[in-house]
Chain A
Amino acid sequence: MSATAAKTRSSRTARGAPEVMSRGMPEPSYGWVERMLSSNHKSIGILYVATALSFLAVAVVQWVLMRVQLIVPDATLINAETFNQLMTAQAATAVALFALPLAIGLATYVVPLQIGARGVALPRLAQLSYWLYLAGGVTIYASFLYNPSEGGTVGLPPLSETQFLANSGVDAWALGVALAVLGLVCASVNLVATVHTMRAPGLAWRRSPLFTWASTASAWVLIAVGPVMLAALTMLLVDRNFGGIFFSAGEGGSPMLYQHLAWIFFTGAWTVVVLFGFGVISEVVSTFTSRASVSRNVVGGSLVAIAILGPLAWIQNMYTAPIGTGWMYFGMAVSVALLVPVGLILFNLAATLLAGGLRLTAPAIYAIAGLSLMFFGLAGELCYSIVAVGWQLSDTVAAHADTVAVLVGAGVLGGFAALHYWLPKLRGRAAPDAPAKLAAPLVFLGMQVFLWASLVAALQGQPADMWRFGDLDGFATANLFASIGVFLASAGILTGLFGVARGFAAGRAVGPDPWRGASLEWFAPSPPPPHNFDVVPDVRSAEPMQEIRAAVAARQIAIEPLSEPESSVEAPEPAAVASSQEAGDATVAEEPPAAAGTDDEDAQDAPADGDGDTPTSLA
């Protein structure tokens, strides 16, 4: 009809067609300052991801440096103090400054979109959480300007007390880790509040995506174990600075208290990383096999079981300590019980993959490599969770290598899979597949060499955290291979980082739903506007996007091709309205349908087009 009708058709509500605001909206251009000070959960999520990836690069460099020192016996490249400082900083960086923030930050971005929420429940708390985390990281690394901590990976007293490490490095480490953990706890509180109160209508738990399950479980775990670590670090700081005796053996305290508390936290952190890995891999595998997980309820329930059992297994790090055997058997029982939920998830993922149809895109490649690497790490941890085996092999290079395998498999490879998978949503761009095809095999292969060489070295008697080993110790060959493995894996990780950065900056432009995903985040435009969704759909199944696509396709079929332009004004409308009502008021009249897999925004004009043009048939 007339141009006026063309302009106002989008706001016509006479027949219940919704008002569309964000179609064709220009991409908002924020200045750096506005972006960083925004309390929008998407900005916060991107800040988390960017900072976490920066700390990943730092951790990789530290790891390589340490392995260069350990490549030959009696090496003198890096002295003892420097190595111990690197070792201490790298453990804090890898866990508290990379893996956990990446998991929570991605969850802060993606989970509200997945549940159809227009924001988060506590945006200022989420914003505070990021700045606390960044402050923690800065505190730890600022200590390198004067005195870094040499307290070891977990900072166990009495070594970390003032009488053995007098400079303020341990204080900086403790304060930095505490700030980061506090930030993570705040972000977890926000996540839990959002997921529990702001889900779209109809989105029951049984219909929620698996990444939402995993992230909610992770958030609950962090809320439970984060304050425990804060307590331990506070006590350590009091001991060091205010004459406290919490961990002083001679005066009524006990170093064992810190061990229990710290291991509760680190086991909880490991659980969060495992949950993140499984959540991401489940999502990616479902999407890229064109088939949902074989049993979403079982996988979701298993994720919850891992969240509950995981932190309870902290004793498995303390089998050699002077605690009663009752405690040890409790730890073993919980650790071995984890075999059931982890096994069920692996079984379901394997069944989903075996059904065929795997598309080897970058997310899928990283997911498969990450899944395999996670298995190796978890298998090793299962072996050491038997008390007698733990007596020989805990605190060896092999035990650390298995923990690193889980961190790299779930945190790094799982993180890369997640970033490649959701980059189209974050930026409207898809990263190229080529770096993934190089990075994933490199990381996998390097970690394999590292794992097996570490096992041999541990069997030969090499404990963890040694800055140097001797010529006559007998594990020179194993360490040489371990270092080579680490170099390969690091090259792979840096390649993957490069791929992600490249995709972020210069990937090919894609539309809102490039992968034909099943969950609600693909319903929003890419990148989503500040309010995420114009219209929050009613959710009727576990795969809402499938329903939406089916409804749109059904409506397309109902449109009759017309020969006379004038009569086309009225004819498509009743059919379109009727079919949309049949589809159960899905209120998706104007959204770009993804059924054809195209990004053609003009196609959406066809159903409600009142201009007299023949409806464009979707190719």
Chain B
Amino acid sequence: MASLRSLVPFLTAALAWLLIAAPGASAGVLSPQTGAAEDIRTIAIVVFAVVVVLGIALHGALAAALLNRRRPEQHEAAVTSRPVQVRAGLALGSLAVALFVLGVVFTESARKAEPSGPEGLSASSSLTAQLNPTSMPRPLDVELRGNNDVIELGDPILIRAIGQQWVWRFEHPGGRAGARNFAYGELVIPTQTLIELDVGSIDVLHRWWVPELGGKVDAVPGKRNRAWINVAEEGVYEGRSAAYSGTGYPSMRIVVRAVSAEQYLAYLEQLERELAAGQEAALEGQEEVEPEPIQDPAEDQEQ
């Protein structure tokens, strides 16, 4: 029984795992809303399963060693079996190669741009005509994160996410260069639309992270970083900045609201109106205009 007692820490740890890990099942990383996030979740589960198997093997050996402690009579010579070592090395090498290949496959899949769906913004010509392609901001220097295929102008929607201490600023298509339509804190995007998210920073290092929509994207001042987003369903997805940037860092949150294409266009119009009204009010010294709530186009038709 004394030897079994030495297993108590392992058993307690296993119990702790079950108790603590259960709430993680509904966590953000495990609830993907884009294809990229799904690919990431798949490979994460695969790799996790591999290391769990390795861990069980190692801890089985440790447990057996703790239970079987009969002392040999004298010092026994080291048992060196070259074939066993070679086989172990080859097995580990094959596992390493397999993990590498799987990693490449899933990473390439995760960073690929998914074309917009039938209800997305770029597919319907009547909807895209409302967005003047020449007014969309183009990046100056795009770093290599993302697909290098040629995407036709007008196909993805380019949205800039600019981090600053300690808030995110989003620049939407529309307006003029130097006077884009912008919003702070909440990003409204159309569903089933390929969005090119262009992440930058104006002061220190930030890191865009919305777990349900995909991986992190570093916002480095002086560099551009790009990720593709194509959300399938409407909803609200929360995230935050994941790079330590000073005392306000925990409050640098992100709220992504995915709405239908029509609602997104209505939002853009409203944004432009509010910004223009706000500028006029500032010029004339008046109070701020109260913002209008977003109308569902369906409701408008009924009226």
The answer to whether A458 and B29 have CB atoms under 8 Å apart is yes
The answer to whether A394 and B103 have CB atoms under 8 Å apart is no
| Chain B CB within 8 A of A244 CB | no
| Chain A CB within 8 A of B171 CB | no
| Chain B CB within 8 A of A501 CB | no
CB distance from A277 to the nearest CB of B (A): 14
The answer to whether A392 and B216 have CB atoms under 8 Å apart is yes
CB distance from A474 to the nearest CB of B (A): 8
Could you say which of B24, B47, B76 contacts A290, with CB atoms under 8 Å apart? B76
- Taken together as a complex, chains A and B put the C-alpha atoms of A351 and B84 apart, in Å, by 11
Could you say which of A250, A343, A387 contacts B107, with CB atoms under 8 Å apart? A387
The answer to whether A464 and B244 have CB atoms under 8 Å apart is yes
The answer to whether B96 and A337 have CB atoms under 8 Å apart is yes
Question: Which residues in A have their C-beta under 8 angstroms from that of B235?
Answer: none
The answer to whether A368 and B66 have CB atoms under 8 Å apart is yes
The answer to whether B207 and A395 have CB atoms under 8 Å apart is yes
Q: What residue of chain B has the Cβ atom nearest to residue A255's Cβ?
A: B220
What are the interface flags for A355-395 relative to B under an 8 Å C-beta threshold, 1 for contact and 0 otherwise?
A: 11111100000001101100110011011001111111111
If A322-B218, A452-B16, A463-B240 touch, whether A84 touches B247 (CB-CB below 8 Å) is yes
The answer to whether A320 and B207 have CB atoms under 8 Å apart is yes
**Which chain A residues numbered 540 to 586 have a C-beta less than 8 Å away from chain B?**
546
The answer to whether A346 and B69 have CB atoms under 8 Å apart is no
The answer to whether B145 and A388 have CB atoms under 8 Å apart is no
What are the interface flags for B177-216 relative to A under an 8 Å C-beta threshold, 1 for contact and 0 otherwise?
A: 0000000000000000000000000011101010100111
- Taken together as a complex, chains A and B put the C-alpha atoms of A81 and B103 apart, in Å, by 39
CB distance from A272 to the nearest CB of B (A): 22
Number of interface residues of B (CB under 8 A): 97
The answer to whether A355 and B110 have CB atoms under 8 Å apart is no
If A445-B16, A469-B250 touch, whether A388 touches B110 (CB-CB below 8 Å) is yes
- Taken together as a complex, chains A and B put the C-alpha atoms of A158 and B47 apart, in Å, by 34
- Taken together as a complex, chains A and B put the C-alpha atoms of A420 and B249 apart, in Å, by 43
The answer to whether A459 and B88 have CB atoms under 8 Å apart is no
Q: What residue of chain B has the Cβ atom nearest to residue A249's Cβ?
A: B222
Of the listed stretches A27-35, A58-66, A178-186, A325-333, chain B binds A325-333
Question: Which residues in A have their C-beta under 8 angstroms from that of B77?
Answer: 292
Number of interface residues of A (CB under 8 A): 100
| Chain B CB within 8 A of A128 CB | no
The answer to whether A354 and B225 have CB atoms under 8 Å apart is no
Interface centre among A297, A323, A386 (most CB of B within 10 A): A386
The answer to whether B246 and A150 have CB atoms under 8 Å apart is yes
Question: Which residues in A have their C-beta under 8 angstroms from that of B39?
Answer: 388
The answer to whether A394 and B89 have CB atoms under 8 Å apart is no
Question: Which residues in B have their C-beta under 8 angstroms from that of A453?
Answer: 20
What are the interface flags for A426-456 relative to B under an 8 Å C-beta threshold, 1 for contact and 0 otherwise?
A: 0000000000000001001100110011011
Could you say which of B23, B44, B68, B209 contacts A383, with CB atoms under 8 Å apart? B44
The answer to whether B103 and A164 have CB atoms under 8 Å apart is no
Question: Which residues in B have their C-beta under 8 angstroms from that of A392?
Answer: 29, 37, 40, 44, 211, 214-216
Q: What residue of chain B has the Cβ atom nearest to residue A444's Cβ?
A: B9
**Which chain B residues numbered 138 to 171 have a C-beta less than 8 Å away from chain A?**
143-145, 165
The answer to whether A477 and B23 have CB atoms under 8 Å apart is yes
The answer to whether B78 and A291 have CB atoms under 8 Å apart is yes
- Taken together as a complex, chains A and B put the C-alpha atoms of A164 and B206 apart, in Å, by 14
The answer to whether A320 and B217 have CB atoms under 8 Å apart is yes
**Which chain A residues numbered 289 to 348 have a C-beta less than 8 Å away from chain B?**
290-298, 320-325, 328-329, 332-333, 336-337, 339-340, 343-344, 346-348
**Which chain B residues numbered 249 to 271 have a C-beta less than 8 Å away from chain A?**
249-250
Q: What residue of chain B has the Cβ atom nearest to residue A342's Cβ?
A: B92
Interface centre among A324, A388, A456 (most CB of B within 10 A): A388
CB distance from B229 to the nearest CB of A (A): 13
Interface centre among A291, A390, A461, A478 (most CB of B within 10 A): A461
Question: Which residues in B have their C-beta under 8 angstroms from that of A354?
Answer: 61, 64-65, 68
The answer to whether A321 and B246 have CB atoms under 8 Å apart is no
The answer to whether B23 and A478 have CB atoms under 8 Å apart is yes
CB distance from B206 to the nearest CB of A (A): 10
The answer to whether A382 and B47 have CB atoms under 8 Å apart is yes
CB distance from A429 to the nearest CB of B (A): 25
Interface centre among A298, A470, A516 (most CB of B within 10 A): A298
Question: Which residues in B have their C-beta under 8 angstroms from that of A464?
Answer: 242, 244
**Which chain B residues numbered 210 to 245 have a C-beta less than 8 Å away from chain A?**
211, 214-218, 220-225, 238-245
Q: What residue of chain A has the Cβ atom nearest to residue B60's Cβ?
A: A350
The answer to whether B95 and A339 have CB atoms under 8 Å apart is yes
| Chain A CB within 8 A of B8 CB | yes
Question: Which residues in B have their C-beta under 8 angstroms from that of A356?
Answer: 65, 68-70, 72
| Chain B CB within 8 A of A80 CB | yes
- Taken together as a complex, chains A and B put the C-alpha atoms of A291 and B207 apart, in Å, by 51
| Chain A CB within 8 A of B123 CB | no
Question: Which residues in B have their C-beta under 8 angstroms from that of A328?
Answer: 107
- Taken together as a complex, chains A and B put the C-alpha atoms of A346 and B32 apart, in Å, by 35
The answer to whether B51 and A379 have CB atoms under 8 Å apart is yes
Question: Which residues in B have their C-beta under 8 angstroms from that of A346?
Answer: 58
- Taken together as a complex, chains A and B put the C-alpha atoms of A295 and B65 apart, in Å, by 18
| Chain B CB within 8 A of A616 CB | no
The answer to whether A360 and B216 have CB atoms under 8 Å apart is no
The answer to whether A333 and B92 have CB atoms under 8 Å apart is no
CB distance from B190 to the nearest CB of A (A): 23
The answer to whether B27 and A461 have CB atoms under 8 Å apart is yes
Question: Which residues in A have their C-beta under 8 angstroms from that of B8?
Answer: 441
What are the interface flags for B90-105 relative to A under an 8 Å C-beta threshold, 1 for contact and 0 otherwise?
A: 0011011001101110
| Chain B CB within 8 A of A467 CB | yes
Q: What residue of chain B has the Cβ atom nearest to residue A292's Cβ?
A: B78
Question: Which residues in B have their C-beta under 8 angstroms from that of A477?
Answer: 23
If A291-B78, A321-B220, A394-B216 touch, whether A455 touches B21 (CB-CB below 8 Å) is yes
CB distance from B86 to the nearest CB of A (A): 9
| Chain B CB within 8 A of A460 CB | yes
The answer to whether A376 and B55 have CB atoms under 8 Å apart is yes
If A359-B69, A371-B62 touch, whether A444 touches B20 (CB-CB below 8 Å) is no
- Taken together as a complex, chains A and B put the C-alpha atoms of A324 and B249 apart, in Å, by 27
| Chain A CB within 8 A of B59 CB | yes
The answer to whether B205 and A294 have CB atoms under 8 Å apart is no
The answer to whether A461 and B218 have CB atoms under 8 Å apart is no
Question: Which residues in B have their C-beta under 8 angstroms from that of A336?
Answer: 96, 99-100, 103
The answer to whether B44 and A389 have CB atoms under 8 Å apart is yes
Question: Which residues in A have their C-beta under 8 angstroms from that of B247?
Answer: 80-81, 84, 150, 467
Question: Which residues in B have their C-beta under 8 angstroms from that of A463?
Answer: 207, 209, 240-243
Question: Which residues in B have their C-beta under 8 angstroms from that of A358?
Answer: 65-66, 69
Question: Which residues in A have their C-beta under 8 angstroms from that of B59?
Answer: 372, 375
Could you say which of A357, A372, A478 contacts B62, with CB atoms under 8 Å apart? A372
The answer to whether B80 and A294 have CB atoms under 8 Å apart is yes
Further pairs besides A329-B104, A390-B215, A467-B247: 11, Cβ < 8 Å: A156-B243, A159-B246, A255-B220, A294-B80, A320-B215, A322-B143, A340-B89, A383-B47, A388-B43, A395-B243, A478-B24
Where the two chains meet, the residues of A that have a C-beta atom closer than 8 Å to any C-beta of B are 80-81, 84, 150, 152-153, 156, 158-159, 164, 249-250, 254-256, 290-298, 320-325, 328-329, 332-333, 336-337, 339-340, 343-344, 346-348, 350-351, 353-360, 368-369, 371-372, 375-376, 379-380, 382-383, 386-396, 441, 444-445, 448-449, 452-453, 455-456, 458-461, 463-470, 477-478, 481, 516, 546
22 A-B contact pairs sorted by A residue (CB < 8 Å): A81-B247, A156-B244, A249-B223, A295-B81, A320-B207, A320-B218, A333-B100, A350-B57, A350-B58, A358-B66, A360-B69, A371-B62, A383-B44, A391-B214, A392-B216, A395-B216, A395-B242, A449-B13, A461-B29, A463-B243, A466-B250, A478-B20
Where the two chains meet, the residues of B that have a C-beta atom closer than 8 Å to any C-beta of A are 6, 8-9, 12-13, 16-17, 20-21, 23-24, 27-30, 37, 39-40, 43-44, 47-48, 51, 54-55, 57-59, 61-62, 64-66, 68-72, 74-82, 85, 88-89, 92-93, 95-96, 99-100, 102-104, 106-107, 110-111, 143-145, 165, 203-205, 207, 209, 211, 214-218, 220-225, 238-250
**Nearest 5 CB-CB pairs, A to B?**
A391-B215, A249-B222, A459-B27, A353-B65, A463-B242
